[in-house]
C-alpha cells in the first residue's frame, strides 16, 4: 500500500485538531499542528503525541523536555493552518500566554495540557512522545471542537 493510499484511509478516522507548543532554552517559541494525540494513562495522567522526525519543532521539544497540547476550537482554523505550515513566524499575531511550565498556551483553546516528556519512542518516520501531565488549563468550555475528517475540517 502506498503512503498516499494509507493517508487517505486514515482520513476516515475523525480527529480533533491540536497545536503542540514548546520553547527552547533561548525562549523562542515553536509549535506544530497535529491530530495524532491520545490519552494514554489515567494514573498517572499521560498523553501521547506523534511528531514527524523532520519537524522543526521536534529538537527544541526534546531539548526542553516539556510541551503543551492546545486543543483547538472550531473558531481556530486559522491557527491550525498557521501551525501546519513551515516557517518561523508562526506565533506572529497569535495570542498566547506562558503556562506553569513556561510552554505557550494558545488563547481560545478548549483546553491546554502542559506535559513533561516522560519517554520518547522512535517509530518509523515519527517519534512517539509520552507526556506526563503537569498542568491543565480549561479554556472556553462552551465552544465546539475543531474536527478533521477525510482531509478537511468537519462540523
**CA max distance for the chain:** 44
pLDDT tens over the chain, length 155 residues = 888 888 787 777 788 999 999 999 999 999 999 988 999 999 999 999 999 999 999 999 999 999 999 999 999 999 999 999 987 789 999 999 999 999 999 999 999 999 999 999 999 999 999 999 999 999 988 899 999 988 888 86
The pLDDT of residue 41? 94
Rg (CA), the chain: 15
The pLDDT of residue 38? 92
The pLDDT of residue 5? 86
What's CA 155's distance to the chain center, in Å?
20
What pTM did the predictor assign? 0.93
- Give the pairing of strands 111-123 and 126-138: antiparallel
The pLDDT of residue 7? 76
Domain boundaries, the chain: 3-154
The pLDDT of residue 54? 94
- Residues whose CB is less than 8 angstroms from the CB of residue 22 and which lie 6 or more positions away in sequence, other chains included: 29, 30, 31, 57, 60, 61, 64, 66, 67, 68, 103, 104
CA-nearest of 125, 131, 145, 152 to 21 is 131
Between the CA of residue 2 and those of 5, 8, 9, 50, 53, what are the distances in Å? 5, 10, 11, 20, 19
Q: Name the CATH topology of 3-154.
A: Pnp Oxidase; Chain A (2.30.110)
The pLDDT of residue 14? 83
Amino acid at each position: 500500500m502506498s503512503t498516499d493510499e494509507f493517508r487517505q484511509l486514515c482520513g476516515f478516522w475523525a480527529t480533533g485538531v491540536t497545536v503542540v507548543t514548546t520553547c527552547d532554552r533561548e525562549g523562542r517559541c515553536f509549535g506544530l499542528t497535529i491530530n495524532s494525540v491520545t490519552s494514554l494513562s489515567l494514573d498517572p495522567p499521560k498523553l501521547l503525541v506523534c511528531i514527524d522526525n523532520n519537524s522543526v519543532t521536534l529538537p527544541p521539544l526534546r531539548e526542553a523536555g516539556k510541551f503543551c497540547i492546545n486543543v483547538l476550537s472550531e473558531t481556530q482554523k486559522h491557527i491550525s493552518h498557521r501551525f501546519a505550515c513551515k516557517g518561523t513566524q508562526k506565533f506572529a499575531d497569535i495570542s498566547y500566554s506562558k503556562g506553569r511550565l513556561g510552554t505557550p498556551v494558545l488563547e481560545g483553546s478548549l483546553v491546554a495540557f502542559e506535559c513533561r516528556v516522560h519517554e520518547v519512542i522512535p517509530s518509523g518516520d515519527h517519534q512517539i512522545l509520552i507526556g506526563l501531565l503537569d498542568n491543565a488549563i480549561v479554556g472556553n468550555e462552551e465552544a465546539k471542537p475543531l474536527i478533521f475528517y477525510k482531509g478537511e475540517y468537519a462540523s
